[in-house]
Amino acid sequence: MERRKQQVLNLVSIIVFLASLAGISIFWMRAYQQTAFTHVSKFCEIYVEENPEAEKQVLAAVKTYDALSAQEKSGSQFLAQYGYGRNAFFAGIPTKTLVLTAVLSIVAACGFFCSMGYAKQQNRRRIAELTNYLEQVNRGAAGTVLQTKEDAFSRLQDELYKTVTSLYQTRETALQTKENFADNLANIAHQLKTPITAAFLSLQLMKQTVPNPYGGQIERQLERLNRLEESLLTLSKIDAGTLRLEREPVDLYTVLCLAAENLNDLLAKEQISVEIPDRGSMQVCGDMEWMMEALMNLMKNCMEHSEPGGTVHCDYSENPLYAEMRIWDDGKGFAPEDLPHLFERFYRGKDAAGNGSGIGLALAHAIFELQSGNLTARNLPSGGACFEIRLYRH
């Protein structure tokens, strides 16, 4: 209905505008005819007053002129030979004619532009309503478009509704799937904990009563299972959004040193050293414990790909936008086909070392993302794998 009303209004505006132009044209034609008649009449009057005996000849000439066709009347240049031009008998347009013409023109223009302005105003209002609706949707509010009448934007409005409804359904499905995945991970982790604890106790009793050369191997596998259970539980908390992180100042040099200290026994066993230069105090806002946990996973990955006697290098810097930490080794680097998948859960690369489960890098990536940062990996031109962490300032 609203759309039809707008179309009718536009049509009326165009008709009024064209009618005004036609009225102005007719008015000007009548004014021209009146002016021409007045001028010819005055000429004849002057001639007859000065030559009364020629009255009959003048009337005969007028009748003869009236009988001529429009083509015969046009194009005459008779007076030009006596020095008269086309403006010689033009007395100017009467003021009244000019005023009326100006008024009609202004009315026509105002009517047309007012109609166009109203149409533009209506269009802007509808665009503003649709924009506001999308802004409400993006903020998570249930926005409703106020316009319920049909207009030029009705089809766009319908398509927006369909798209938003479809996105809401997709979002709800994705959230439900994510929650189910997190719940399943948590259940698996909890279910694993009980048999792992029982197996540890049984192993300790067995080692005390019946020493067995395979006890050490079993213990290592149980420790691996225990780490896997803890990682799965942490990932389930991250997926469910229940992992609580502190927001406090963290010194980059301190957290790198603490991460290396927690790996001292493992580093000594593998004969690997960690190099951390002191660049002075640089702080970011984050959770010290979880940041340290993520850094340990990265250092451990570099250690596993270093030769005995090698070094894991660390460095850090800052700028007004973010603080950056880098951890790299002197090994062979990542296989090119592994780079796009390094932070996928349970992914183990082509040259994966140790008995890891493929969760460490994914966990580190998730932890840094939760602290307004990101983790990337690349190969150094000189050789070796490099992890880069950027923690953005807000």
**pLDDT tens per residue across span 16-62:** 667 776 777 777 677 777 777 777 777 777 877 888 887 888 788 77
Residues 212 and 365: their CA atoms lie apart, in Å, by 40
Helix (H) or strand (E) holding 302: helix 288-304
Residue-by-residue DSSP string for 173-235 = HHHHHHHHHHHHHHHHHHHHHHHHHHHHHHHHHHHHHS--TTHHHHHHHHHHHHHHHHHHHHH
pLDDT of residue 352: 66
Asked whether 20 and 104 are in contact (CB, 8 A), the reply is yes
Which tokens belong to 289?
């414990």
pLDDT of residue 250: 94
Residue-by-residue DSSP string for 128-163 = HHHHHHHHHHHTT-----S--S--TTHHHHHHHHHH
Q: Which amino acid is at 140?
A: G
Distance, first Cα to last Cα, the chain: 50
Which tokens belong to 21?
């132009």
Residues 299 and 256: their CA atoms lie apart, in Å, by 10
Asked whether 188 and 182 are in contact (CB, 8 A), the reply is no
pLDDT of residue 368: 94
Chain centroid to Cα 77, Å, comes to: 73
Burial class from Cβ neighbours inside 10 Å (0-12, 13-18, 19+) for residue 193 reads middle
Q: Which CA distances in Å does 308 have to 253, 305, 329, 380?
A: 25, 10, 12, 20
Which phi and psi (to 5°) does residue 297 adopt?
-65, -40
pLDDT of residue 147: 61
pLDDT of residue 95: 63
Per the confidence metrics, is the pTM higher than 0.85?
Answer: no
pLDDT of residue 10: 64
pLDDT of residue 251: 95
**Number of alpha helices (DSSP H) and beta strands (DSSP E) in the chain:** 10, 7
Which phi and psi (to 5°) does residue 286 adopt?
-175, -165
Asked whether 185 and 362 are in contact (CB, 8 A), the reply is no
Instruction: Identify any residues that bridge with 248 across adjacent strands, giving them in sequence order.
Output: 286
pLDDT of residue 279: 93
Neighbours of 257 (CB within 10 A): 16
pLDDT tens readout for residues 62-82:
787 777 776 766 667 766 676
pLDDT of residue 277: 95
pLDDT tens readout for residues 120-158:
777 788 788 878 877 777 776 655 555 666 767 777 778
Low-confidence ranges of the chain (pLDDT < 70): 1-13, 16-17, 21, 28, 70, 72-75, 78-80, 82-104, 108-109, 111-116, 118, 140-149, 151, 182, 185-186, 189, 350-357
Number of residues written out for the chain? 394
pLDDT of residue 316: 96
Q: At what angle do helices 154-209 and 95-138 cross, to 10 degrees?
A: 20
Helix (H) or strand (E) holding 275: strand 273-275
Burial class from Cβ neighbours inside 10 Å (0-12, 13-18, 19+) for residue 76 reads exposed
Q: Which CA distances in Å does 165 have to 140, 158, 175?
A: 13, 11, 15
pLDDT of residue 325: 96
Which phi and psi (to 5°) does residue 323 adopt?
-105, 145
